[in-house]
Structure 1
């Protein structure tokens, strides 16, 4: 049986795979957007991808995912992990944190109120088949401990969602229910939209679904709207570039089509700063037939409903996450080739400078 593999962003998300993070308030003046400059930082302690990324204060956390002892490891050597580590931006050092109670890849994580919430994801043994689990937890950096919270409601468990945060609410859009890791295996994309209230430990499931199924998709809340862009639909090679928005002050109006992302891709990472949604990397690059990984950096301006291409990634990647801290964006790990190809690269992107 020939094994193949698919990836997220996000995190999206987390990507993800697009992930919510602390950002400057929308009303704070922002410097002028430039092409951006990449900086290499101390590497992740081991090659890593398909996990969640979140930030609390000056710490950037990598949570779960898959690891391997080298970037050339056989698929059979790659495992889903409970590992949690963080990068201290001030000291430029990596540290271990308390592991998750269960192993999760393609987890949906967000930071709210100084804590990190892990809401579902995928799990399974080695590189065979991964299925959605509803298990959800909150991590408290002060006590370095995980606590179980209300699980994803019946029928909504999934990983690889687009994620956005507004106040105490964490919004999840799209995602994947099943990932069979062999040629022609099922990739269960969904259009489900839910939210979790961190203050009441309750879920809401009554939102209009996305206009189409998406997984390994990017997203964020900009202003009062939840934006979702890119991703895949039931196939590793069925990449999309749609951008949709849901007005959180009038959710009954449903999803509205916005300007398409310039490059269709799944497995991309995303981060929000003010009115901007930044997207990084992804799978499906036709101009790179060997690795099939993008180095694209594209940013969406919610006030103009328009996209702009910025300077490329120094290390093209997919299957990672991105998180903004004090106006700079951190991108740890990811896959450097299509499928499972973990790297230990750790980078910071400053979008306000140009070479």
Structure 2
């Protein structure tokens, strides 16, 4: 009986591993440095875990040369990747040199979707409220957005929220949150929409200032009751979270908006309302964004994570030292399951040029053909 149980566990682990190989991770980048005859506008790249390979798929349509979309949301449903909202910028070379500058052009409410199977784009109904730096999550096949900034150069957030139904291609306004928030994290947990942390302020307060209590709280939406409630002390830090993801009913975080990777993974204890360091989650991902403190000297350009099954896939990019403009892409995987084996790492891949991550990544499962 023991051998049968062992075989069953082995088969289960093998099935999970094979299942994870059917996923692809997608991220949007733009050019970070200037090069002759190179358009720095956004494109979408795909990482294939089964072959440890990167493929540049498509450019985001509707952007003029060197126009860039930043701080938007990118989520996946079925065969589609949705690109939602964002801050519109122009990248240009200033002062007769090679340094790249940015000019903010405005906030967009555009929504487009890309089919990863047919390599085609379609326009969707735009957001009711254009925004960037907002929370976004998927629940029951619908896309929820909340908070964010609605004007460039403003340190004010919004409390407005809305939901998108892909079947109807329609955005519907939801009740406002109890707080205005931006640079907040969105995650679906226990059947509810959680908008966590961020630069926040109570909706009924007229006083400006560092609202520590609001920043450590979360607004939680119950779709059944069509109502927002505030959960205090869900984040605890004054610095907004970078990403929070749900893996098998457990929430995980790995950084904040000042440092996308803090050197370990934390798990949320909903009963005690605290974040605990996950055992064995220290990893070889660089903890610093400055070249001086790394060896070999590499500057980390980006870090983002996507949940697949019980695993967290971390995509990290580094600027390699030297006269030539080069970057190194690394993918590190942490298995959150008990006795999951901790970290595994893919062989790093180098490429020409430097790039900048423009939104959090997302994962899609490839369907059988």
Alignment counterpart, residue 79 of structure 1, candidates 99, 106, 120: 106
Match of 1:278 among 313, 319, 330: 313
Residues of 1 paired with 2:230 and 2:341: CA distance? Answer: 28
8 Å CA contact 1:123–1:130 kept in 2: the answer is no
Structure 1 residues 227 and 204, CA gap change in structure 2 (3 angstroms) = farther
Distance in structure 1 (CA, Å) of the matches to 2:156 and 2:78: 32
Uncovered stretches (5+) of structure 2, i.e. residues with no partner: 1-12, 22-48, 94-99, 202-208, 290-301
Deviation at 1:167, TM superposition (A): 5.1
- Residues 134, 185 of structure 2: 8 Å contact kept: no
Q: Work out whether residues 312 and 334 of structure 2, in 8 Å CA contact, stay in contact via their aligned partners in 1.
A: yes
TM superposition shift of 1:207: 4.7
- Whether the aligned pair in 2 keeps the contact of 1:153 and 1:203 (CA below 8 Å) is yes
How far apart are residue 217 of structure 1 and its match?
Answer: 0.7
Q: CA RMSD in A?
A: 3.7
Q: Give the match's secondary structure for 1:29.
A: helix
Equivalent of residue 114 in structure 1, options 141, 149, 170: 141
Contact 2:178 2:219 in 1 (8 A): no
Question: Which consecutive unaligned segments of at least 5 residues does structure 1 have?
Answer: 1-25, 179-185, 329-355
**CA drift at 1:204:** 3.6
CA distance in 1, matches of 2:146, 2:326: 30
How do 1:214-225 residues align onto structure 2 when only pairs under 5 Å count? 214-215=239-240, 217-225=242-250
The runs of at least 4 aligned residues of structure 1 exceeding 6 Å deviation read 186-189, 288-294
Taking the aligned partners of 1:307 and 1:174, their CA distance within structure 2 comes to 28
The Cα of 1:44 is off from its aligned counterpart by 1.1
The Cα of 1:243 is off from its aligned counterpart by 2.4
Matched, 1:300 2:334: yes
Candidates 16, 23, 27, aligned match of 1:29: 16
CA distance in 2, matches of 1:159, 1:195: 15
Measure how far apart 1:94 and its partner are: 1.1
Give 1:288 shift.
Answer: 6.2
Where does residue 197 of structure 1 map in the other structure? 222
Q: Which position in structure 1 is the counterpart of 2:265?
A: 243
Equivalent residue in structure 1 for 2:187, among 148, 164, 171: 164
Could you say which structure has the greater relative contact order, defined with CA pairs below 8 angstroms and 6 or more residues apart? 1
Distance 1:35 1:317, change over 3 A: farther
- Three-state SS of the structure 2 residue aligned to 1:96 is strand
Query: C-alpha offsets along residues 108-147 of structure 1, whole Å, 9 cap, x if unaligned?
Result: 111111211101112213xx23421111000111221111
Contact 2:69 2:358 in 1 (8 A): no
TM-score with structure 2 length normalisation?
0.65
Q: State the distance in 1 between where 2:365 and 2:157 align.
A: 33
Q: Give, in whole Å, the separation in 2 of the partners of 1:200 and 1:74.
A: 47
Q: How does 1:83-232 map to 2 (within 5 A)?
A: 83-125=110-152, 128-154=153-179, 157-166=180-189, 168-177=191-200, 190-215=215-240, 217-232=242-257
Q: CA deviation at 1:255?
A: 2.0
Instruction: Pick the structure with greater CA Rg.
Output: 2
Higher strand share: 2
Aligned to 1:339: none
Alpha carbons 1:244, 1:255 under 8 Å: kept:
yes
Pairing 1:264–2:287 present: yes
Deviation at 1:216, TM superposition (A): 5.7
CA distance in 1, matches of 2:342, 2:260: 23
SS at match of 2:157: strand
